[in-house]
Structure 1
């Protein structure tokens, strides 16, 4: 639910012009440490590229990081130095970085959110959010009651339902507001 909206939104933008817009030349390349990634709830996904096989990330315009559950090993990879360095490289070049839910914690771990506005998973059933506190501990200025927070080139969000809206915002940044609006309409949003 947290990574497929990026595939769908960018795919719709690439394939359907809505009759009033040019098609967007955007390809989504999924990456992982292994060709087969076991995601949350044990769902296995075959990725397009193995992270270590990519020689240069200069040709990529954006990075999207979905969240995941701790008991499905999300943090082991998200907190790795390889991922932290990738995040720092994208941010140093002011490239767009979009996260859904706890994906923002990987940004926090990398150090790029110190003093910046962001959000992450907020359990609406509890008064105190453990994950938002973790993001604060990384130095982020956590905006607690806003579902999507944008700070320059960084998009963060606070739960899985925000994923398509984060993808639309990333599409807008990569193309323009009209293309994002047209794609939303085409997709029924």
Structure 2
């Protein structure tokens, strides 16, 4: 069974993390090939962007890179302390370890910033939050070829330009770690197979 590590930084956006927990979670209950997910943090409790507080399953120093096939990094809000954890040297070192073994690294929005800061995207293609020229300039200054595209894949690294692509990134992770058939199966279960999940509404009648 493939295993993925989901990093929960302080100030993480709840939605950006939840797309990974849902998509990978569905593989374990409805999918053809289960993918295990473990949440990790740099502190015992994480205060999210919109005031949820969550507890990662383990701390970063407990992680054995050899036990995982993918590293997932949702973005967050700077005003909520996201970059305190995102730019922590321990996380940057973890990113370098995953990339050194060409393991999958996937991010959402500004979750790409620690990937760029780690140095593994130097001379490679990527993107980050499209509504922030400042973040894009910072990424470019770190040697990244910043593309004006919603989603960018450079070998083993996936980056995207906003929360709007978050679910697409999560689905891509499922496919990369298992198969197109597994992805299609969970999309069917989740109602993303093109069929309406709502019953027909009866026409209103006057009485």
Normalising by structure 2, we get a TM-score of 0.83
> Following TM superposition, by how much is the alpha carbon of 1:53 offset from its aligned partner in structure 2, in angstroms?
2.6
| Pairing 1:133–2:141 present | no
What are the within-5 Å matches in structure 2 for residues 110-125 of structure 1? Answer: 110-123=118-131
Match of 1:97 in 2: 105
| Pairing 1:4–2:18 present | yes
Q: How many residues align?
A: 178
Match of 2:69 in 1: 61
Match of 1:174 in 2: 177
Rg comparison, structure with higher value: 2
Measure the CA separation in 2 of the matches of 1:69 and 1:117: 23
Measure the CA separation in 2 of the matches of 1:171 and 1:132: 27
Match of 2:61 in 1: 52
What are the within-5 Å matches in structure 2 for residues 129-168 of structure 1? Answer: 129-144=133-148, 146-168=149-171
> Following TM superposition, by how much is the alpha carbon of 1:33 offset from its aligned partner in structure 2, in angstroms?
1.2
Measure the CA separation in 2 of the matches of 1:130 and 1:186: 39
Match of 1:16 in 2: 30
Measure the CA separation in 1 of the matches of 2:28 and 2:124: 32
Which runs of no fewer than 5 residues in structure 1 stay unpaired?
A: none
Match of 1:86 in 2: 94
Write out per-residue CA displacement over residues 142-176 of structure 1, whole angstroms, 9 at most, x where no aligned residue: 111x2111000000011112111100001110001
Match of 1:72 in 2: 80
In 1, are the aligned partners of 2:30 and 2:185 still within 8 Å (CA)?
A: no
Moved over 4 A (4+): none
> Following TM superposition, by how much is the alpha carbon of 1:40 offset from its aligned partner in structure 2, in angstroms?
0.9
Measure the CA separation in 2 of the matches of 1:118 and 1:180: 24
Which runs of no fewer than 5 residues in structure 2 stay unpaired?
A: 1-14, 193-207
> Following TM superposition, by how much is the alpha carbon of 1:181 offset from its aligned partner in structure 2, in angstroms?
2.2
Match of 2:39 in 1: 30
